[in-house]
Structure 1
Amino acid sequence: MKNKIRDFILKTIAVIFSILFAIVLFNTIFFNKTIGINYKIPVIIIFTIIVYGIILFLYYIYTKKEMKFLDYSPKKIYYFIFIAIIFIVQFIIAKLVYGEYGWDCGEIIKDSYLFTNNGYFNFPYYAQYPNNIGIFLIINKVLEISKNFIDIKIIENCFLSSIVFNIIMVDLASLFTFLTIKKVSGNKSAYLSLMFILPLMIFSPYINIPYTDTISIMFPILILYIYICIKELPKEKFQKYLLALLMGIVTVVGTLLKPTVIIMPIAIFIISILNINKVGLKNIAYTLILCVFFIVGVGFSYLGYSVQKEKFFNELISEEMSYDLEISYMHFLMMGMQEKPNDTKEDGKNQTLYGAYNGTDVENTNSIKGYKEKQNYNLKIVKERLKGFGIVGYIKFLYNKANWILSDGTFYYGYEGTWLVNGYSNKSEPAKRIQKFITVTTKEYKNITANIMQIAWIIISIGLVFSISKEKNEYIDIGKLAIIGMVLFLLLFEGRARYLINHIPIFILVGTYGLKNSLNKILLTLEHK
């Protein structure tokens, strides 16, 4: 009976997931709500068919012509060489396109610059937004190390140092994405995933934006990778318990950088409970020991964070200041329930923002002193907005919000507040040529960079649709549940496509699995004709 319930729940998740992304795929192609680019539907369709056709042709050659070169499992030295080459290329690009950014990204790096050089910074900002304390502490450490190699009294160099760290985190995420897919789906799928890892991670314009989205990108996929390694080891191996400890540490560090990281361990817990069997119940003592090690890792990691936080903020932010300034989760729920016209006219057919940052909402919340008082005000506005929407209106709003967020393969690149302050730092001619490919107002970005990312996202969406399968795969189920959790979070709270970035590896994991399913189905259909 229990197995039937479990199978029903997992089947329901799989069906909902595929239906959701079938709608996303259709809207991404035909009713795209990206504000910055007016994608040409025929061009998108033609190039998507061409790219998918090339993948199908190569897959056919591999499976039918017995060309087994993709079965080769790289040695560790080859991983190192490949990543080293990629990093050198990324570093050269960073030197050509770095600059001083605005919005929250710039706020944190400027504060780290001020603290490192002068001993003061805009500490009330962290009383207001304590979720950014984690990234502030990390960037401070980055600058402490960087001052041995570069003059960090120049603020542009602080941005460059942070970008290099950001690149390292993205590259580690790319490596663990490849290794996780290799474990879950085999070498063939791992090599296939490079078609998405390269444009959406390694060479994404976001590698030059050192903020929590990309700096936290490694954590969800690393948590899943550690879990897989734990499952593979026999219960007698002590390494299994050390990995559980590490998983706890990684979970806390990632969550302190970006709260959405917690979605992955929650998804793992839910799927693990659903998949528990008689053997698992017999070994419950070992499972409990694993949980103890995980909890110890969580406690150890949070203790380290608390010590560092107290070192920087204890004398600066009083309990009274924290109470007066801190913005609660209710504010972000409130802000996630409004739509407004875009402040500037862009090229996209849609110029409405759904549940995005709203300056008026922020001003209204900040005008009220006291955490609970702010919360009560936010709750009042939430109720008013729900009443204003009505049931049908709110569902329609959520549909539009989902379309706006999930149809953007560029992940809202270039449209946050004051994106770049005073232009790029490198004024050389070679730099200017490269900068055109990551500047949202140029034809090079709109016609080449954005379209490459968008087509990669569409192909992944095809894979997500076809990820439904009779074959049981616990890790794909975890990935699907994590993605559903991420989507629900963004629908309820303040959101935009940028917030999906730290789960791109999970999208690639599930998308590659589904893409292989779709290719197999096509080849099987062709065989029977």
Structure 2
Amino acid sequence: MTMNSNKFAKVLTRIFGGLFSVCFIFLFINIIVIGFDGKVDRRFDSFSKMFILLIFAVLTVGICAFYFYYTADKSNKRCKRIKTKAKFELTDINTKRIIFIGCGILLIAEFIFAMLTDFEPVADLHNIRRYAMYFSSHGNFDLIEQDYARNYQYLIRYPNNMALLLIVSLVGRLSYLISGHFVEFAPVVVNIFAINISVILTAFTAKRLFGNRKAVFVLAFCALFLPYLTYLPYYYSDSMSMPFLIGAVYLMVSAFQGDHRKSMCAKLCAAGALVFLGYKVKGSIIILFAVGVVLLFLKFRLKRAICLILVFTAGFGAIGFAYNTAVDAVNPITKQQYEEYEYPVTHWIMMGLKGLGKYDEHDDYYTRSFHSKQEKQDANVKVIKERVKKYKIDGLYNHMVKKAVWTWQDGTYYISYHNQKPKNDNILMDFLHINGKYNKAFQNYSSALQMFILLMICISALKTLVRPEVDEMLLLKGIVFSAFLFFLLWETRSRYLFNMTPLFILLMVDGMDTAKAFLDSLKKPGKHIAEQTTV
């Protein structure tokens, strides 16, 4: 494998580390200052802020203390004697067994939790379910054409949900053929497996990046990470796309660590294919393709980099051709209809410049009032220019700060907006429902944990600034930072970050490792030497 060791790559990596550090430290500080005072998010107030900061402090001390103890070097004589008596060691095989057995147990818990917290789909998912139910019983998408005749063009305006519709429709059709009716819980089952597989892939990625012991820690953290439970009934693109993203990341990390050229090319090709599939389910995953190409240029010499990029692109393009061919065969929407009703990308940039940057009904009606895609785009561009001009530099800066804080501070990932029609009335919904008796506790804890994760990401970013390395961790950091920049421009909400939570967790571990190494370096030299002599 021909590595690129030139100074230019390290300089670019250090610059990236500086930008990453500045942006995320600034984000973290602003979350503390304005994130929970009720001005950015009405769910919080000064009383909530006090509790969130207190819980954050407890979580930071508790998680770090446990992690430092768990990963501490126990190679002294006493530990050696204990180790010789122990029958179980975290070998590669045992670690794999723990991951699969742990995720098997987690799968059972996920099914129970999903059944207890299931809810009626709202907003976009409601439309996906309508079309899937029709397809399950009729075997076609004629309902889309019927909606079009009734002047309702949801899927024409939002064709980005076509891949999700195909997944849910095929699952619904299968459930109909088996049971004779559309099984409401069937898509939830697919979502449960999507999240569970993502946890498995996250643990295996941690195994490659950090070793066996820390892979088990990541598995345990994922099992206790509330969003991986609360999102189970919500079978939308955010969770359905997650295994494609972390799967592609795992393959790329594995490819970078391997020495066999054919194996490396095969993994990069497969990673490119997963990136495309993930992109069709959730458009923001295209970030991974761009970051992957840049990293290949930085990591390898030019000729080798170009060859690997072509392999990566070939996987992306081949599966893209196959997918588009299949969709064209079943898609009832014509090119003329797309030309008349589909929203241009400028629509989401326009919405991203208003208020907190979230979905805006007035902007939606404004865009759809124009008769062609080009007219829509021209109208959007006009509004974008007007809003930027009205903001001026100071206003645009304040807008971006509030938008970033609103997007990144929410550790619930916006789930309480989507579960407003629960199918069950139990104590779990008292925590999860927006009007639940204990929802404040759920919001406060989730926000505090999100702050802890962001703090560790900040520390991980500083590591890249201080010690720039073109390694596998740079891939993860590049994706997360690119997502940060992307959602500064795009229409946004915290839910859009959910599929990247595996990367957040892996960067959290890297941040704790960096913090531990820094604290170890502060030990007195005499004490450090004494510890070494006792080993």
Shorter-chain TM band: 0.7 to 0.9
* Deviates most, 132-141 or 202-211: 202-211
Paired residue for 2:56, among 24, 48, 52? Answer: 48
Aligned to 1:248: 272
Per-residue deviation, 1:40: 2.6
Task: State which drifts further: 257-266 or 24-33.
Answer: 24-33
Match of 2:134 among 106, 114, 134: 114
2:469 aligned partner: 472
Judge which range, 67-76 or 265-274, deviates more: 67-76
Aligned to 1:414, the other structure's residue is in SS state helix
The percentage of aligned residue pairs carrying the same residue is 24
Q: Distance in 2 between matches of 1:479 and 1:242?
A: 21
Residue of structure 1 aligned with 2:451, choices 452, 458, 465: 458
**TM-score under structure 1 length normalisation:** 0.86
Secondary structure at 2:504 match in 1: helix
Point out where structure 1 has 5 or more consecutive residues left out of the alignment: 340-353
Q: Which residue of structure 2 aligns with residue 307 of structure 1?
A: 325
The reply to whether residue 208 of structure 1 matches residue 233 of structure 2 is yes
Q: Cα gap change, 1:335/1:257 in structure 2, threshold over 3 Å: closer, same or farther?
A: same
Q: Which residue of 2 aligns with 1:13?
A: 16
Match of 2:250 among 215, 225, 231: 225
- The answer to whether structure 1 residue 88 and structure 2 residue 88 are counterparts is no
Query: Contact between 1:460 and 1:507, CA under 8 Å: does it hold in 2?
Result: yes
Distance 1:377 1:239 in 2: 49
Correspondence 1:141 to 2:170: yes
Residues 195 and 243 in structure 2, CA contact (< 8 A), matched pair in contact too: yes
Match of 2:203 in 1: 178
> Structure 1 residue 270 and structure 2 residue 294: aligned?
yes
* Distance in 2 (alpha carbons) for counterparts of 1:190 and 1:202: 19
Structure-2-length-normalised TM-score:
0.85
CA deviations over 1:338-362 (Å, ceiling 9, x no partner): 11xxxxxxxxxxxxxx111011111
**Counterpart amino acid of 2:343?**
I
Residue 500 of structure 1 deviates from its aligned partner by: 0.8
Matched, 1:35 2:42: yes
Give the CA deviation at 1:381. Answer: 0.7
Tell me if 1:4 matches 2:4: no
CA apart distance, 1:293: 4.0
1:101-135 deviation per Cα after TM superposition (whole angstroms, max 9, x unaligned): 11111211221112222443235322111111111
Matches within 5 A, 1:106-505: 106-118=126-138, 119=140, 120-123=142-145, 124-147=153-176, 150=179, 152-153=181-182, 157-158=183-184, 160-194=185-219, 196-200=221-225, 203-236=228-261, 238-276=262-300, 280-281=301-302, 284=303, 290-313=308-331, 316-339=332-355, 354-415=356-417, 420=420, 423-426=421-424, 432-447=426-441, 449-467=442-460, 468-469=462-463, 470=467, 472=469, 474-505=471-502
CA distance in 1, matches of 2:496, 2:382: 26
The C-alpha deviation readout for 1:414-446, integer Å capped at 9, x for no partner, is 225xx54xx3334xxxx5222222212113232
| Counterparts of 2:44 and 2:369, CA distance in 1 | 36
Alpha-carbon contact 2:64-2:512 (below 8 Å) kept: no
Rounded Cα–Cα distance in structure 2 between residues aligned with 1:300 and 1:60: 45
The 1-side partners of 2:375 and 2:175 are apart by 42
Q: In 1, Cα distance between the equivalents of 2:260 and 2:212? A: 27
In 2, Cα distance between equivalents of 1:50 and 1:150: 50
Return the offset for 1:456. Answer: 2.0
1:260-307 C-alpha deviation (Å, 9 max, x unpaired): 11111211211221233xxx45xx36x555444434422331233223
Distance 2:308 2:134 in 1: 43
Name the aligned partner's letter for residue 460 of structure 1: I
Query: Matched residues in 1 for 2:495 and 2:221: separation?
Result: 17
Secondary structure, aligned partner of 2:120 = strand
Separation in structure 1 between the aligned mates of residue 404 and residue 65 of structure 2, nearest angstrom? 33
2: CA distance, partners of 1:223 / 1:231: 12
Amino acid at match of 1:338: K
Q: Quick one: which amino acid aligns to residue 235 of structure 2?
A: P
Residues 238 and 282 of structure 2 are in contact (CA less than 8 Å); yes or no, is this contact kept in structure 1? yes
Letter in 2 for 1:180: T
CA distance in 2, matches of 1:116, 1:399: 45
Judging changes above 3 Å, is the alpha-carbon distance between structure 1 residues 9 and 139 closer, same or farther for their aligned structure 2 residues? same
Q: 2:268 touches 2:308 (CA, 8 Å); kept in 1?
A: yes
Q: What RMSD over aligned residues (CA atoms) do the two structures have, in Å?
A: 2.5
Displacement of 1:473? 5.3
Deviation at 1:26, TM superposition (A): 2.2
For residues 113 and 199 of structure 1, the distance between their equivalents in structure 2, rounded to whole angstroms, comes to 33
Deviation at 1:44, TM superposition (A): 2.5
Deviations along 1:230-286, whole A, 9 cap, x unmatched?
2233344x333332331222111101011111111211211221233xxx45xx36x
* 2-structure distance, mates of 1:479, 1:203: 20
The structural deviation recorded for 1:165 is 0.8
Bigger shift: residues 164-173 or 42-51: 42-51
Give, in whole Å, the separation in 1 of the partners of 2:103 and 2:178.
22
Q: Which runs of 5+ in 2 are unaligned?
A: 146-152, 528-535
Q: Following the alignment from structure 1 to structure 2, what is the Cα–Cα distance between the partners of residues 451 and 393? A: 29
Deviates more, 1:360-369 or 1:115-124: 115-124
Query: 1:318 Cα deviation (Å)?
Result: 2.2
Answer whether contact 1:206 1:214 (CA < 8 A) is retained: yes
In structure 2, what residue type is equivalent to 1:3? N
Q: 2:99·2:216 contact (CA, 8 Å) conserved in 1?
A: no
Using the TM superposition, give the Cα deviation of residue 364 of structure 1 relative to its aligned residue in structure 2, in angstroms: 0.9
CA distance in 1, matches of 2:117, 2:401: 36
